[in-house]
Every structure is written in structure tokens, then in C-alpha cells.
Structure 1
């Protein structure tokens, strides 16, 4: 249905268009989703040409044909496989590298041809759902739990959502992220609101891994690190502001 973000998702295969445009290029922030430049299943050529540099507009963007169904969200496409489905294709890639240099097996210990792939995956915990290490009571470590429902996630999202005027009560993770992307704010704030969910999810993932490997991080530290990343993003986008507050 074209729900991917026009500027920030890699819907063309070239990478996020926001980062492919020149630094001084004005990105029309009224265009949010791919559907905004699609008419009857085709890219609307005048709109694309009016809102992208000529070289990008000419690079087959007009011919990119997103499946256009009004009732189905866009889905991730695994670009290493022609079917588009994620697979554990690491075995083939590293085995091929081993034949060339052997560095993966001898230096880093990533793979050895005598160790079955299933044993490696089981050693990484893929054979069973693990338990969340930051909750007082055992909870299954699902994506939804790690990034939204556990205490750390709840307090972190609540901290930033309160400042952003977003009510997270009863939301699923996908709904919450979309809410950050679609909240009606001043145009200069939109890139910040687009980035905040990624920043929060990244810090939550770092905490989860730290807890698993005996390097525990406090909830306050997660919020601090996310705030610092947001602060740095504002400094990059608005270099004229001399003092950007951390909170």
C-alpha cells in the first residue's frame, strides 16, 4: 500500500533517499510515505521530478512499481535472497570466504565447516525463547516485550512520549512507532520525530545485550544515552544553535 517512508526507508534499493540527496537539497517534508508519490500503482512522474534531484529521478525511480494494495502494509524484503525471505545464509557466505582466506575460521572463530549450523544456532539460544533479564518476574523475551512491555522499555518510552505529547497506553510497538512518524508537529521537528523510535529501540537492544553478558545498564543510563543521541542529531541538523539542551 506504499506505507514505507519516502525519505527514510530503502524502498528503491538505492538506500534512504534522505541521505542520497545533497546536503543543501530541500527535502519536501509534506511527502511522508511512498503512497504520496504513487498514482494508480505507478510513480507519479511530475511529483517525483519536482521533489528529487534529476539524477535520482532518472535512476529508474519512475519505473519502481510498488505493489499497490490499499489494505496491506509494506513488508521488509530480504535482498540477499530472490524470494525476499530472511534466511540464515551466513553459512554459505563464510564458507566461501574460508576457501579464499580462512580468516573467519582461524582468526575470529565465526565458523568452522565441521560444526553443523544447527548446533551454532542452538548455542546462540535460537532453540528456545529466553527470559527477559531486566524484569523481576520471568517473562518470555519476545520482540514486543523487549522493546515495549518490559519495565525498561515502558519507562523509556514514557519519558520521551510524554515530552512529545504522545499517549502510549494500549499501543502495540508498530502502532507506537507509526504514531511517532505521523504526529502533527512543526516541519523542522519531523526528522527528529522520525529518528526517535530508532534511537530508543537501539538503546533498549544495547541494554538487553549488556544484561545478557553481565554488563548491566540502568534504566536511567538508557534514557541518558537516548537523550544524548537526540541532542547530537539536533546539533547536526541545526548547526547554528550553539547550545542544545540535553533534556
Structure 2
């Protein structure tokens, strides 16, 4: 019974990893995983005669028919999907790989991920704990440190007494880290240097070394004086922002359209939610092109600081599956002879500033700045410097 249950869990996980990207609606509405959460027949009664076309009315989802055919909790997920009607066939993608193509290695990785998360190991492999400390803690938990008791099991017989305590006892893991007087720092000094340290001095020495390693890694002062304060500090976000940046993380997009003299025609900033850096770059470009079309600007030249996205749009790089739909829409807007070029971040400073602005207004998905005076002050200053032909300098923090 347990074997069948495990096989069902594996098959279920593999099924969820295969996603249908709907374009023209040629995949099966009921039996294909096009929502990303599994096929609809698993959660709804199947109406065999109904297909994608039946649920679309006047270019939009038919909410009344959906409410009669599928449960209410699924309707919201369907309404968030683009309405089928594109000129491309539907495409099956394997979400576990970047290219969208199935590989045995990615399938094995998906199956192996189905395991319980260890509360202890999640504390050991903390993103702010130096790897040296994490490996030491792992060896401690797995009993791989070399006190005399462990060495004896491996055939190395030594005097089984702790050299660091005033009343020597059995040199074991439990004694060194639980029942003994001092920690590993004192054990090392006692064995190799013949020095006897007090527990308070050992604890302070270990704390000072951990704090020093953290300050070196994060290039700044750590305001902690005890281990408890150090642990509390590790959970505080770096900087004064209330959101988390990363890849993936909270994303923003921005851009500016300029004429041949460098004068701003309009600019925008956008909040993109939880996303990856490549998806954010792609979404921001698509938003900018749509704003250009709405304002009657055609034959625009594109400058991006993402070399990967430039390669994808120029069809020299393989397009990752998770941005394929947006890239196809960008190609449709650009036409047959797109002008796409790569630029360094120094030349794209205005868009970079507007992207950071986009992260700060989650309540308003897209803000469009029609006049120069409406553009945020920092981006407005960068625009003026660009128009004057002054170079932009990137700050680099030396190690």
C-alpha cells in the first residue's frame, strides 16, 4: 500500500511539472494541466462536450457558463489566464527545466524534492551564517567530530580524558558540548597548545570570531553583543526597505521613451510582484511597448541592459519557457525588423531608477509619467545628465 501511495505521489508531481501554455486553445480543457495546479477533471465534474471555445464570449471568458461548469474556487484561477485566441498552437512545457524540454535529470530532481523540511538543518544552513560555521554544526550533529571516543571506534586509541577540564572525564561529544566545562575552542587549545581556558572566555572567543566573520562577509558592523542578539539580527532585512529583493523576489520595471535629441516623451514604472529578474525585464519591455502603441509611437528602437533578453529577442539564445508567451507578444509588437541593442547599466540608469520606484507602489500596477516634471526626481536628474551627454559612473564597493 505504501509503495502504491508513493508511486501516486511521484506521478502526481510529474503531472504538475508538465504545463500546457494555452495560445489558441487546442489542448484539452478538462484533462490537460493548463492552470498549473493540475487537470480540471481532478477537481470538477467533466462535461465532455465543452471545450475552450465554449467558455469564451466576445473575446472574454464567459463567467456565467464557467460558474455552471466548474467549482467557484477554480473560476478565479481561470479568469487570471489570458483568453485563448493567439495564432500559435498550444505548447507543452516541462517546468522543471529552463528550456521547457523534458530531461531525466530534471525529473529526478523533481521527485527527490518531495521530502520533509528539517527544522534543525534550516537553522544550520542559514543564509547569514558563514559556511565554515554551518559545516562545523553539521559535523557536530552527525557525530563526525574527532574526540577520543570517536577516534577509538576508528582504531585510533588515545587517552580517553578531556584535557580542558579541571576534573578530567571521558572525552566524548556529550562531554565537550553538553556536560563539560568548555567548548571546542578550549578543546583545541588544550590538545595542541596545552592551554586551559575558562568557559566564559571560550564563549566570548567563539562569539567574537562568529561576529567578525559576519562583518567581513556583509562588509559592515554587526550591532550584537550576545548570541541571542546575533540570531535576532540574522532575521532582520538588510537596509531600510520593507520588501525583499532577490532572484526570485519582489520585482519592479521601468522605462523611458526619448526622441533623437534625448528629450523624454513619456516614462513609466511598474510593480511586477514576485518574479525573477529575467521575467521582470521581459514584462517591463512588454508594458513599455504597449504604452508606445497606445500613444501612437511606432518603429521604436529598444535598448536593454539584459544581455540574455537581448539574445532571446534576437533569436541567438534559446527562449526559456516561462517568458515565451511575453516574448512572442513583444515580437508581434516590434514587427519584422526590430531594432534591439544591448547597453551597459551605466547607460540605462533612468530605467533602473524607475524600476526601483515600481517596487514601491504595489497598489498601482503601472504609473505613466506623461511630462518631465511628473517623473520622479532622481530619474529626472539622470535624464537631464543623459541629454547633456555626461557619463554615468557606477559605484563599486571594494572588498
Please, what TM-score do these two structures have when normalized by structure 1? 0.30
Please, what TM-score do these two structures have when normalized by structure 2? 0.20
Give the greater-gyration-radius structure (CA): 2
